[in-house]
Chain A
Amino acid sequence: MAALLELRNMTVALGRSETAKVILDDVSFSLAPKEIVGVVGASASGKTVLSRAAVNWLEPPLTRRSGTVLFEGRDIYAMKEADMRALRQRVSYVGANPMGALDPTLPVGAQIVEKMRAVMPDVSRRQAEDRVIALLDAVRIPSARNRFHDYPSQFSGGMMQRALIVDALVTNPAVLVADNVTQPLDVTVAAQVIRLIKELTDQFDTAVLFISSSLPMVREASSRTLVIDRGRIVEEQATEALVASPIHPYTRELVAQTPQIWRGAGAVPALPAEREVVLSLRDASQTYRVKKRNGIGGVNLVRAVRNVTFDVRRGDSFAIVGESGCGKSTLMRLLSRLELPSAGQILCEGKDIATLRGRDLLAFRARLQLVLQDPFGSLPPRTSIGRMLEEPLRTHGWRDKEKLRARVLKVMLEVGLAAELYNELPLGLSAGQRQRVNVARALVLEPTILIMDETLSALDQAEQFKLLDLFQALQKEYNLTYIFISHDLAMVRKVCNRVAVMYLGEVFELADNQRLFFDPGHPYTMALLSAMPTLEEKRYKPEDCLLEGEPPSPLSIPAGCSFKSRCPRAMEICNGEQPFLTVRDEQDFAACHLVARTMSPAERASP
């Protein structure tokens, strides 16, 4: 087949000088009509620059040093500006940042129409509008005709990414370059978006260059895959062959690093069942009052966390998982007493933490510490590391300078920070080092419970593994209890013994690791598992359990089961009656009518 798009010896550098860093090094490949080709590589491997080079979108300081791109045999770098603009009708692009891609002050529909008419001047406004609405419908944006007039800020990330796919496909292009389109999305939404791209490009005969940092995603989407490492294409194979028998060492590493979930036994050691309860939630709820935009003086109630009940026992590695907006961050704030629950109780070693004052509160703070998510925002930029680590001790009454210093240096040693960093500001530290400082700051008070709020999500795989090892070693040494707040099921599978799955502020399922992954009791858990990007054979077929749409707004949670609008197994009873956590086994629970049905009424005790 003749090539539709062909990159020839493309070399791109960061800057014009001879010594400038080379980002793309002599990259050549071609894309046939209707073909879907995947490109996979780590962050900073040059894959985004590759996607930009393919569509003639290199902006300073990126400089094309040599090579070119042919589209249907025409050199797009030799074209006049106006011709290139006209060619954008046939070559389109979707990027990783859907929220910034459109002017925030104009309706989404109007902007897609504007783009369509800019590259296809013959199309009338009416025709363009009709086509855009038809396509918005095709990407399953609910009530497309109304959403056409909505502003970008009124779209969720997933919706916006769909709208941008419409924007790219509205001119019926021959090539679509999709750069990391699933990166900012939750797994279930990402899975939907990939499916959409495959469907639509098939329908319109569009060839796709699908670029991603995730090998499972690329495998999902493409028939042929290129592997890029440090600006070079190191391997190219049919996708299945590449996954089955990678040749280049880098590809092998990539395949090996992709987390496994079902293969092999769980790595988590079994813990004795009878352990002391250290943290206990009793119907904890948090409701925020948000001023209504419409209506006079009214408030909307956002029910961010609803009646959460569970126990955490000493030595647990307890995971709270869920997608964005499920209430896990609010729950973190409740657990760490940054906020007080609007209803219900949180008991720490038997005492309601809301009632703690003065000395008792300080003692609680020493017992329970939090390691935050953002390695950059969580360290005050103008405070030296030593001073930063001493600060919690000072607020807890430590005064002796020598003792302070000794304690801080000991903790720094434990988390693997060199003592020389004591007097440094955090400015020059890597993300991994910063996260170690965060861990040290939490550990310095010798807590018994540590909450990890997406602590690892900003780090790359290798660094994540190192920190997880550190956590496990610390847990052994000090008998710590961990609460991991995460969206990363693979990590949870690897380190946590107990998992709570949250959706719209509720706990949908609470189970031990093995049970949750191998015998989930809730359709939502199953959907999450089926959408997980992995290279293994899927245990749960996406066709059976993949979700449509997105979670309803926490402003108006529907009556009955809050999951019913997306549940593939919704029944009559789900409309009227809200399911509560129901015992499935001694310590496994799920909030679904399906579970309740198979139980005798006597067993329906609440946890």
Chain B
Amino acid sequence: MFTLNFLIRRLTQGVVIIGLVSLLIFTLLRVVPGDPVRLMAGGMAPEALIEKIAKDMGLRDPIIVQFGRYMGSVLQGDLGQSFVRPANGAATGGANFNDTTRGERAKVLTLILEALPMTLQLAAVTLAIALLFSAVVGIAGGLNPSGWPDKLAFYISSVFISLPNFWLGIVLTLLLSVKLGWLPAIGYHGFAYTILPAVVLAVEMSPVLIRTLVGAVSSQMTEPYVSVGRVRGLGRTRIIANHVMRNASVPLLNLLGIQFSSLLGGVIIVEYIFDYPGLGLLTINAVLQRDFPLIQGIAIVTSAIFVVINIIVDLVATTIDPRLDY
């Protein structure tokens, strides 16, 4: 009953969030200067033709009308068609203006669904590396406050958080791929191509994880139940494994929920550097080509994923700590 109530409430909130995101992006893309039709049709197209295309596509209606029409089709599961990408793959920029046979434009949903699994794979490998590394460094640091593991954790996280991901990507490619030839880097031709981008992302992610873990573990260690556990006859290992870790995992989980979007932000840049064919590369190209339907589609999908992940995170957190009430 509690879970059902929770799900209903959170899903409703989620719909509101996604609606807000769509509205925000939709308005933003239409109030900033830059006409997508000009880009689609090519610089040489006559003004009258551009106006005609724009009218046909409904781009000259009031924003709210356009938004209503758009959301109507989104609700039917149709995210629209890309302005610039043909259905048969290979991104093209603004090609010839009299070549606008719109039926051949790629469906936004298809484009996203093609790219999404690649990004999910990258995200999963990243999370695995980051969690493993942060757990070792962070827990050791939290158990020895102001000892050397704590200092190590402090310096590692301070240095890692200072490395811009695009620079690190370039340096690691140069070292590991070009000079040493250990790992492949550019493009995607198999699982090995995921590793290097994942390492770069893990470096970007782990400082926050480490700091949260150090903080959570060390503050749990000062909780009275840890000290009382000793006089109740529980061993230190048992207290740490059964109780401290359990309690310390809650802030970590919450962090993962919130960090999702900054992980995705990192993914965009890293995919761009490594030419990794995921959602990030798709996003950056969509923005650079002013492919409005695609940008909107991506925003809706990512915010939906964000909502779902946060619901899962909160559900797991409430099962760990029943006091939490979201």
Contact = CB atoms under 8 A, between A and B. Distances in A.
Interface of A: 52, 55, 57, 59, 85-86, 88-89, 92-93, 95, 97, 100-106, 114-115, 118-119, 151, 153, 167, 171, 293-297
B322 A118 contact: no
B189 interface: no
Contacts of B8: 296
B2 A104 contact: no
B1 A103 contact: no
B234 A97 contact: no
A383 B297 CA distance: 53
Contacts of B1: 294-295
A151 B228 contact: no
11 contacts: A55-B231, A89-B233, A103-B246, A105-B243, A105-B246, A105-B320, A105-B323, A114-B234, A118-B233, A118-B235, A167-B232
A549 to B, nearest CB: 24
A88 B228 contact: no
Contact of B323 (A114, A119, A153): A153
B224 interface: yes
A294 B224 CA distance: 31
A102 B228 CA distance: 8
B223 interface: yes
Interface string B306-326: 000000000000001111010
Interface string B213-242: 000000000011101101111110010001
B290 to A, nearest CB: 43
Given A106-B243, A294-B5, 14 more contacts: A88-B232, A89-B233, A93-B231, A100-B225, A103-B246, A105-B243, A105-B247, A105-B321, A105-B322, A115-B232, A118-B234, A296-B5, A296-B8, A297-B5
Contacts of B323: 104-105, 151, 153
Contacts of B4: 296
Contacts of B233: 85-86, 88-89, 115, 118-119, 171
Nearest to B224: A100
A88 B243 contact: no
Contact of B322 (A88, A92, A153): A153
A377 to B, nearest CB: 21
Contacts of B243: 103, 105-106
B120 to A, nearest CB: 30
Contacts of B247: 103-105
Contacts of A106: 243, 246
Given A57-B231, A294-B1, A101 B238 contact: no
B228 A118 contact: no
A103 B225 contact: yes
B108 to A, nearest CB: 35
Contacts of A114: 234, 238, 242
Nearest to A167: B232
A546 B227 CA distance: 35
B124 to A, nearest CB: 27
A52 B231 CA distance: 9
Interface string B57-92: 000000000000000000000000000000000000
Contacts of B231: 52, 55, 57, 88, 93
A101 B224 contact: yes
Contacts of A115: 232-234
Nearest to B226: A103
Contacts of A85: 233, 235
A100 B228 contact: yes
B225 A101 contact: yes
Contacts of B223: 100
Top-4 shortest CB links A-B: A88-B233, A100-B224, A119-B233, A103-B243
Nearest to B325: A293
A100 B322 CA distance: 16
A93 B246 CA distance: 25
Contacts of A57: 230-231
Nearest to A84: B233
A601 B56 CA distance: 88
Nearest to A87: B233
A295 B224 contact: no
A295 B5 contact: yes
Contacts of A52: 231
Contacts of B2: 293-294
Contact of B227 (A59, A102, A167, A293): A59
B251 to A, nearest CB: 13
Nearest to B236: A81
Contacts of A92: 232
A294 B322 CA distance: 13
A106 B247 CA distance: 10
Interface string B1-31: 1101100110000000000000000000000
B9 to A, nearest CB: 8
Nearest to A99: B224
Most buried by B among A52, A171, A293: A293
A530 to B, nearest CB: 32
B5 A104 contact: no
Most buried by B among A114, A151, A295: A114
Nearest to A150: B322
Nearest to A81: B235
Nearest to B228: A101
Interface in B239-280: 242-243, 246-247, 250
Nearest to B239: A103
A86 to B, nearest CB: 8
Contacts of A171: 233
Contact of A118 (B238, B320, B321): B238
A447 B233 CA distance: 56
Nearest to A292: B5
Contacts of B230: 57
B240 to A, nearest CB: 12
A293 B1 CA distance: 9
A81 B246 CA distance: 25
A293 B230 CA distance: 35
A68 B231 CA distance: 17
Contacts of A93: 231-232
A103 B238 CA distance: 12
A101 B223 CA distance: 9
Nearest to B244: A103
A161 B225 CA distance: 14
Contacts of B250: 105
Contacts of B5: 293-297
Contacts of B232: 88, 92-93, 115, 167
Nearest to A52: B231
A106 B225 CA distance: 12
Contacts of A293: 2, 5, 325
Contacts of B9: 296
A171 to B, nearest CB: 8
A185 to B, nearest CB: 17
A127 B224 CA distance: 28
A57 B226 CA distance: 12
A104 B325 CA distance: 14
A100 B228 CA distance: 9
Contacts of A294: 1-2, 5
A537 B238 CA distance: 49
A52 B323 CA distance: 30
A29 B235 CA distance: 29
Contacts of B227: 59
